[in-house]
Structure 1
Amino acid sequence: MQLNHLDLSVPDVAAASAFLADHFGFSLLLTKGNCGMAVLSGDGGVTLVLTRNEAPVYPKTFHIGFLVDDAGAVCAKHAELAAAGVAGLSALQELRGGPGFYCRTTWGILLEVAQRTPLQANQHRRAGGDLAT
């Protein structure tokens, strides 16, 4: 069985879609219902559906995690988000053996960006995955 998609509730579908496209490489596939829903495609075949909900409530620790293979890419993404004036950006820190950071989005979801550790990379290869972010 393969995961098909994730559907996330956000108060502003257009803003969340633009943020994910601009900073995380997602492509907008379609919007529906006066931008009440958007379907985005990301690296590795992941599909995100964003659905408008004026006041979504997520648990404090709920988050979306992005892994990259290179520590420099983590630092570059942090610098990119800081230069863009993204609020809710944590400092760079060590997360499970490599650099990483968190970003609390204005649309209510916590994002994590971290380096894929050698152990995670080996487990991913054994599972037959590619090394896309």
Structure 2
Amino acid sequence: MRLNHLDFHVPDIAGTADFFIRHFGLKLKDMRSNNGLAILEDDAGLEIVLSHAIAKFGTADQVEIGRQTYHIGFILPKRADVDTVHAGLVAAGAVLSGPPAAMRGGWLFYCTAPGNILVEVGWRPG
């Protein structure tokens, strides 16, 4: 069994999609209606769906509730890649936890993507 997709409720689908495309190399697979739903895909086939909050799932996103209730993580093949992604996010004015640091046996940092999504970016020795 493999994980197929994750669906994140965000207020600005296009802005959040652009952030993940520019900084994390995801590809836009589908954009439905005008800012209605985006499907992004990584190079392994995992899809990240960006949609608006809907009533049957609680009607609120992390921006509305003002908290980060989960995080997602990207693992990179080289420690230097973490520094490169961090530098790109700094240049773009992203919200960052600080510079990359040694944590839990790896090299990582956190940033906040549009939609108040906490993102971990790291490398771990093989």
TM-score bin (small chain): 0.7 to 0.9
Corresponding position of 1:72 = 80
TM-score (norm 1): 0.79
Question: Is contact 2:111–2:120 with CA below 8 Å preserved after alignment?
Answer: yes
Which AA in structure 2 matches 1:7? D
- Shift of residue 32, structure 1, vs aligned partner: 1.1
Q: Which aligned pairs between 1:1-133 and structure 2 lie closer than 5 A?
A: 1-53=1-53, 55-57=60-62, 60=68, 62-118=70-126
Question: Would you say how many aligned residue pairs link Structure 1 and Structure 2?
Answer: 118
Over residues 73-132 of structure 1, what are the superposed CA-to-partner deviations in whole Å (9 max), with x where a residue is unaligned?
0111111110111124422221222211000223110000010232xxxxxxxxxxxxxx
Which AA in structure 1 matches 2:98? S
- Shift of residue 61, structure 1, vs aligned partner: 5.1
Deviates more, 1:80-89 or 1:38-47: 80-89
Gaps of at least 5 residues in structure 2 are 54-58
Of all paired residues, the percent bearing the same amino acid is 40
Gaps of at least 5 residues in structure 1 are 119-133
State the secondary structure of the residue aligned to 1:44.
coil
- Residues 96 and 60 of structure 1: is their aligned pair in 2 closer, same or farther, counting only changes over 3 Å? same
Runs of 4+ in 1 over 4 A off after TM superposition: none
State the secondary structure of the residue aligned to 2:14.
helix
Please provide the CA RMSD for this pair.
1.9
